[in-house]
Structure 1
């Protein structure tokens, strides 16, 4: 009987942990969303994974990383444009490849 109470106590502790962390609410919301889907997805696990990420509370660090990615994309596009412009300028001053070969002979 003591073993049963120890297992039950561990379960209750874990349940309280899930409640405190908000995990029970999150899981409930995702399962309700799956239940309310008019056309059930072929892969329920993928549905849960996708919706768990969408319903999870936003992490401030995640927002900072998203901002950094957006900035890096802008810089990347600017560097690509600059590279294109520099290649065009270089092409104006370099002789065509055929002329280069003729000069070396």
Structure 2
């Protein structure tokens, strides 16, 4: 953070003003202001203001359709994985039933 402050001070007011305009154009100032106002208006202040900011800034970002598609794919893969585990368990039980009589024959 000190590095950024140093950069802003080195370039004088013009760099600082350009950066401020950039933040304004990109909506950063508006978003930060809204989140800070929400924190200010909280009747019971959270233990961690930083966690509050992280939560509210993350929640305000629009959901990427790719992320949703990946979540669905992960959910499907988990279901398939559970089904394969169950099938594997059942096949091991069947295999054990067939292997036992053969072992008894070898012992005779």
Please, what TM-score do these two structures have when normalized by structure 1?
0.68
Q: Distance in 1 between matches of 2:78 and 2:54?
A: 27
Structure with the larger RCO, 1 or 2 (CA within 8 Å, 6+ apart): 1
Judge conservation of contact 1:26–1:56 (CA < 8 Å) in 2.
no
Q: Distance in 1 between matches of 2:37 and 2:99?
A: 66
Partner SS state of residue 43, structure 2: coil
Report deviation, 1:36: 2.3
Q: Distance in 2 between matches of 1:29 and 1:85?
A: 56
The equivalent residue for 2:16 is: 11
Query: Once superposed, what is the RMSD of the aligned Cα atoms?
Result: 2.9
Q: Distance in 1 between matches of 2:30 and 2:89?
A: 52
Please, what TM-score do these two structures have when normalized by structure 2?
0.67
Unaligned runs of 5+ in 2: 1-8
The equivalent residue for 1:95 is: 100
Question: How many aligned residue pairs are there?
Answer: 99
Report deviation, 1:11: 2.0
Q: 1:36 aligns with which of 19, 24, 41?
A: 41
Q: Distance in 1 between matches of 2:62 and 2:69?
A: 15
Q: Distance in 2 between matches of 1:76 and 1:25?
A: 45
Report deviation, 1:40: 1.0
Give 1:42-53 correspondences, 5 Å limit: 42-53=47-58
